[in-house]
Amino acid sequence: MLQTIRCIYITINMKNIVIFGPPGSGKGTQSNHIINKYQLTHVSTGDVIRSEIKAKSEIGQQVESLIENGQLVPDQLIVELLAEWLEKQNDSNGIIFDGFPRTTNQAVALKQMLQKQGQDVDLMLSLEVPKEELVSRLVKRGQDSGRSDDNLATIEKRITVYEEVTAPVIDFYKKENTYVSINGVGSEKEIFATICSHIDTL
When pLDDT is averaged across residues 87-113 and rounded to a whole number, the result is 88
Closest by CA position to 199, among listed 42, 45, 37: 37
Higher-scoring residue by pLDDT: 68, 125: 125
Which H or E run contains 173?
A: helix 169-175
Closest by CA position to 28, among listed 8, 43, 38: 43
Residues with Cβ within 8 Å of 104's Cβ and at least 6 positions away in sequence, in order, are: 168, 169, 171, 172
Q: What is the pLDDT of residue 90?
A: 67
Rounded (5°) CA angle 140-189-92:
100
Residues with Cβ within 8 Å of 32's Cβ and at least 6 positions away in sequence, in order, are: 42
pTM: 0.81
- CA 52, distance to chain mean position in Å, is 17
Domain boundaries, the chain: 15-185
Confidence of residue 178 (pLDDT cuts 50, 70, 90): very high
When pLDDT is averaged across residues 186-201 and rounded to a whole number, the result is 97
- Is it the case that residue 125 has pLDDT exceeding 70? yes
Q: Decide: helix, strand or coil at residue 137.
A: helix
Instruction: Let me know: does 145 contact 153? Beta carbons within 8 Å.
Output: no
Could you tell me which CATH number the domain at 15-185 has? 3.40.50.300
Supply the mean pLDDT for the chain.
86
Query: What are the residues facing 97 on neighbouring strands?
Result: 18, 43
